[in-house]
Amino acid sequence: MALALRSQAQKSPMPGFRLGMGITLTMLSVIVLLPIGALLAQGISYGPAGVWNTVNTPRVWAALYLSFRLAFFAAVFNLIFGTLLAWVLARYEFPGRRLVDAVVDLPFALPTAVAGIALTALYAPNGVFGSLAKAAGGKIAYTEWGILIALIFVGLPFVTRTVQPVIAEIEREVEEASATLGASRFYTLRRVILPMLLPAALTGFALSLARAVGEYGSVIFIAGNLPMKTEIAPLLIVIKLEEFDYNGAAAIGIAMLLISFSMLLVINLIQIWSRRRIGHV
């Protein structure tokens, strides 16, 4: 690949192509491609039938279903709340707005294990919110609700950060035009603003989803980790590894990669479609 690339770039007077491409491809190979390749190779040597037999057990299906379902719900929540947050931050003036803007990024900066034990302390039956839930006869930590909250936490900033700059770029005249045509403010938001935000919001949704599907650190503390009930797919991989079942771990890893990539592919296609309609951005 590098050879073909070099001949094309040689026309450029800019220096550093060989060095830059050399570093890029070497690092990419050693850090990302070779390990992923090793994972796939393990799957191939195990054989499709082996992979399928590992995945096709109730416990693995339950874990995959749980991970993807809750990741999807968390991403949907973040899509709605994140868009609202972006709108409030981009459009409204209120005291402390810039501070709030900074706080949005906290889930990116806070290590997942820290978030995990903090959320557990909050939502466990003896925690601040957990005891409220208990008083109301419910339970949050060690149930799907707890996992959902952790997944919402880790994916929270994505949609806000992708949508906010797009809101800032909307011309006021477009909103005014809608009003002069007789549309109510709500109609304008629904039919003009939201469709303009959709491609960026979908990008944020996809990032949030991808993050939530693979999330481990913030979830295992609050999940309870009961097989068939609150056991997420990444945890199953860890369990298989601890049992030195490399084939089993690889099989689940490959299944997760395949499902993730096909989901992201679908989202990408929706995005390309909606972007083409809008023209740019």
Partner 1 sequence: MSDAAFDHTDVVPGKWRPVAEESRTTRIVLIAIALGGLALLVLAPLAVVFAEALAKGAWAAVKSLGSRDARSAIQLTLLVAAISVPVNAVFGIAAAWVITKFDFKGKAFLITLIDLPFSVSPVVAGLALVLLFGTNSLIGGWLVASGFPIIFALPGIVLASIFVTFPFVARELIPVMIEQGRAEEEAALTLGASGWRVFRTVTLPNIKWALLYGVLLCNARAMGEFGAVAVVSGKIRGQTATMPITIEMLYNEYLSVAAFSMAAVLALLALITLALKTALEWRHADQLAATRRH
Partner 2 sequence: MHIEIDEIAKQFGSTTALHPVSLPIPSGALVALLGPSGSGKTTLLRILGGLEFPSSGRVLFDGKDATGLSVQERQAGFVFQSYALFRHMTVFENIAYGLRARPRRNRPPEAEIQRRVTKLLELIQLPQIAKRFPNQLSGGQRQRVALARALAIEPRMLLLDEPFGALDARVRKELRQGLRDIHDNTGLTTVFVTHDQDEAMELADLVVVMSMGKIEQVGRPQDIRARPATPFVREFIDA
- Residue 273 main-chain phi, psi, to 5 deg: -65, -45
Ramachandran assignment for 235, one of left (phi > 0), alpha (psi -120 to 50 degrees), beta (any other): alpha
Out of 52, 65, 106, 273, which residue is the one contacting partner 1 (CB under 8 A)?
Answer: 106
- Which is closer to partner 1, CB of 62 or CB of 257? 257
Interface pattern 221-260 for partner 2 (x via CB under 8 A): ----------------------------------------
Spatial separation of the C-alpha atoms in residues 155 and 24, rounded to whole Å: 28
Out of 3, 15, 135, 182, which residue is the one contacting partner 1 (CB under 8 A)?
Answer: 15
Spatial separation of the C-alpha atoms in residues 231 and 66, rounded to whole Å: 8
Residue 93 in contact with partner 2, rule: CB under 8 A? no
- With contacts defined by CB under 8 A, name the span among 75-83, 192-200, 207-215, 263-271 that binds partner 2: 192-200
69 within 8 A of 75, measured Cβ to Cβ? no
Q: 3-state class of 80 per DSSP?
A: helix
**Partner in contact with 136, chosen from partner 2, partner 1, none, beta carbon below 5 to 8 Å by kind:** none
The sign one gets for the Cα dihedral 215, 221, 224, 227 is: positive
The least CB distance from residue 80 to partner 2, in Å, is 20
The CB density around residue 97, as the number of other CB atoms within 10 Å, is 13
Q: Restricting to residues 150-179, which ones interact with partner 2 according to CB under 8 A?
A: 171, 173-174, 176-179
Task: Determine the angle formed by the axes of helices 194-214 and 246-278, rounding to 10 degrees.
Answer: 170
Task: Determine the angle formed by the axes of helices 128-135 and 112-123, rounding to 10 degrees.
Answer: 40
CA atoms within 13 A on the CB side of 36: 9
Residues 6+ apart with CB under 8 A from 264: 206, 209, 210
Residue 33 in contact with partner 1, rule: CB under 8 A? yes
Residue 66 in contact with partner 1, rule: CB under 8 A? no
- Which is closer to partner 2, CB of 138 or CB of 195? 195
Q: Restricting to residues 205-234, which ones interact with partner 1 according to CB under 8 A?
A: 207, 210-211, 213-217, 221, 233-234
User: For residue 215, which of 82, 71, 66 has the smallest C-alpha distance?
Assistant: 71
The least CB distance from residue 206 to partner 2, in Å, is 19
Out of 136, 172, 182, 280, which residue is the one contacting partner 1 (CB under 8 A)?
Answer: 172
Q: Restricting to residues 181-210, which ones interact with partner 1 according to CB under 8 A?
A: 185, 200, 203, 207, 210
The least CB distance from residue 127 to partner 2, in Å, is 45
- Which is closer to partner 1, CB of 61 or CB of 81? 81
The contact set with partner 2 (CB under 8 A) reads 171, 173-174, 176-184, 187, 191-192, 195-196, 198, 274, 277-280
